[in-house]
Structure 1
Amino acid sequence: MKITGNTIFITGGTSGIGRALAEAFHDNGNRVIIAGRRQNMLDVITADRPGLIGMELDVDDPTALAAAASKVRADFPDLNVLIANAGVSRPENLTAGGWGLSEAETIVETNILGVLRTTAAFLPMLKGQPNATIMATSSALAFVPRADFPTYCASKAFLHSWLTSVRHQLRDVPVEVLELSPPYVQTELTGSQQMSDPRAMPLDDYVGEVMRLLEAGDHPRGEVLLERDFARRWAERDGYYDAIFAAMNPA
């Protein structure tokens, strides 16, 4: 993936990793369209960065996605990069008496169907464009889950498998397919406490490392993964799965 000279559409771009990536790509000379549910945040971000374009969008709404794709096709016909970043995370306690499917359904709707719908809407525009790329945000938790976030981790494992197949299918189109697998990063994905958790990687440090890996083309198998997460990625292959799972999920 080139890191300059692209026209990029990124979902979930109003906060966290999505916003930081959008700003980093914008700083590197890309035209960036950020999409998110909160118009007020889009207004704040674009006011601070002339040339950054905001578009209100809920990826859970197929009609809104179709309208967004039509607008992008008309206004930005040179679109060549899609970053499907929108996602939600919720803890779930199946031992609780009131546990139900609502949280799991919300996660599946956004993290799985949202990525599939976004890809379906924008892939026709990417085919035939120079340096075309799809990048979707998975998680290092796709490889070894945190048991208190069962559906979230499973949604990211789904994306890992799905992206592997999409990458193979699009190998001759060509559209590069990348999987962004963040570690625990200082964002508000699981709540405000995550933003200041010293165990989490600072957001700017993470995005800086991602940009370095992208520029160097250092993403074997299309996986944009930090070295610190290699142990989790290969835990089962290398015989460490049980030990890492136990460390992440103390009894």
Structure 2
Amino acid sequence: MNISHKTVLITGGGTGIGLETARLLSARGNTVILVGRTMHNLQAAAAELPGAVAIRCDVTDPAQVQQLVAQVTADYPTLSVLINNAGRAFSYRHGAGAGAAEKAHEEFATNYFALLRITEGFLPLLKTQPEAAVVNVSSIVAYAPSVAAPSYSDSKAAVHSYTLALRHTLAQETNVKVFEALPSLVNTAFSQEIGGAHGMPAAEVAEALVAGIEHDEWEIPIGQTAGFRAFFLSAPQQAFEMLNQR
């Protein structure tokens, strides 16, 4: 897919993977719309990217998402790439007093339900473009869970399942391509809660993500994910234990 001179919206675009992806896409002549909760991060990012736009939106708030869709549809009718990158993660282990339900509710609100709502909101506009794409940023734990981030893993498994179904559905009736990026651990402010200090740089993730889109690679394994996926398919229990260092 050609990923130059388009209009691209990135959720979670003010920091981490979102910001690094925005930098690469801006350098390719794309108009980048950065969406997130923290306006000063978005404005700082937009200031360094020619033609970039910062829009504050809490993606877990249906009313704000509805307003975002209306604003972008009116002001940027050429939007053709949606990158669902916003995320939330907690590090904990299951057990009495873990607060799993509350943590899972918050993670799913951002990682899954917001992604569904935003994608559905922008699909009518994306379908009008000659070439369009939805890119869902998932994780290696979509294949097997991390016991140190269990409900985060659950949310990414849900994103993986949704992406497969969405890709199949849209391929039957539209020209909207659906990609999924699955990085292993990434060193970002977002991921510090789940051990991100030991992860790969966000810039490397962004490079692999953009290259995957350019080569029409529907599932884009990044970092250790490619090897892990192959291992998981052949020996799921051993792969799970390796992921969790048991």
Q: TM-score range by the shorter chain?
A: over 0.9
> Using the alignment, how far apart are the partners of 1:63 and 1:242 within structure 2?
42
Distance 1:82 1:98, change over 3 A: closer
Distance 1:229 1:93, change over 3 A: closer
Alignment of 1:241 with 2:236, yes or no, is: yes
For residue 192 of structure 2, what is the aligned residue in structure 1?
191
For residue 84 of structure 1, what is the aligned residue in structure 2?
84
For residue 212 of structure 1, what is the aligned residue in structure 2?
211
> When the two structures are superposed, what TM-score results if normalisation uses the length of structure 1?
0.91
Code of the residue aligned with 2:236 in structure 1: it is Y
Code of the residue aligned with 1:54 in structure 2: it is A
> Using the alignment, how far apart are the partners of 2:22 and 2:49 within structure 1?
11
For residue 229 of structure 1, what is the aligned residue in structure 2?
225
Distance 1:196 1:226, change over 3 A: closer
SS in 2 for 1:134: strand
Alignment of 1:46 with 2:41, yes or no, is: no
Q: Which moved more, 1:89-98 or 1:168-177?
A: 89-98
Cα distance, 1:95 vs structure 2: 2.0
Distance 1:35 1:227, change over 3 A: closer
Tell me, yes or no, if the aligned pair for 1:80 and 1:133 is still in contact at 8 Å. Answer: yes
For residue 72 of structure 1, what is the aligned residue in structure 2?
72
Code of the residue aligned with 2:51 in structure 1: it is G
> Using the alignment, how far apart are the partners of 2:80 and 2:147 within structure 1?
37
> Using the alignment, how far apart are the partners of 1:175 and 1:201 within structure 2?
30
Tell me, yes or no, if the aligned pair for 1:128 and 1:173 is still in contact at 8 Å. Answer: no
> Using the alignment, how far apart are the partners of 1:129 and 1:104 within structure 2?
36
Tell me, yes or no, if the aligned pair for 1:137 and 1:181 is still in contact at 8 Å. Answer: yes
Structure 2: segments with no counterpart, 5+ residues: none
1:106-185 alignment, distance < 5 Å: 106-171=106-171, 172-185=173-186
Greater share of residues in strand: 2
* Residues matched between the structures, number: 245
Distance 1:196 1:190, change over 3 A: closer
Code of the residue aligned with 1:229 in structure 2: it is T
Distance 1:20 1:166, change over 3 A: same
Q: Once the two structures are superposed, what CA deviation does each residue of 1:87-134 show, in whole Å capped at 9, x if it has no partner? A: 111123222435352211100111110101111111111012111101
RMSD of aligned C-alpha atoms? Answer: 1.8
Tell me, yes or no, if the aligned pair for 1:188 and 1:194 is still in contact at 8 Å. Answer: no
> When the two structures are superposed, what TM-score results if normalisation uses the length of structure 2?
0.93
Distance 1:243 1:80, change over 3 A: same
Cα distance, 1:193 vs structure 2: 8.7
Structure 1: segments with no counterpart, 5+ residues: none
Tell me, yes or no, if the aligned pair for 2:31 and 2:52 is still in contact at 8 Å. Answer: yes
Distance 1:186 1:78, change over 3 A: same
> Using the alignment, how far apart are the partners of 1:62 and 1:237 within structure 2?
37
Q: Once the two structures are superposed, what CA deviation does each residue of 1:42-89 show, in whole Å capped at 9, x if it has no partner? A: 121122223111000111011001111111111101111111111111
Tell me, yes or no, if the aligned pair for 1:92 and 1:103 is still in contact at 8 Å. Answer: no
Moved over 6 A (4+): none
> Using the alignment, how far apart are the partners of 1:30 and 1:50 within structure 2?
9
SS in 1 for 2:174: coil
Tell me, yes or no, if the aligned pair for 1:232 and 1:241 is still in contact at 8 Å. Answer: no
SS in 2 for 1:21: helix
1:98-109 alignment, distance < 5 Å: 99-109=99-109
Q: Which moved more, 1:54-63 or 1:141-150?
A: 141-150
Code of the residue aligned with 2:174 in structure 1: it is V
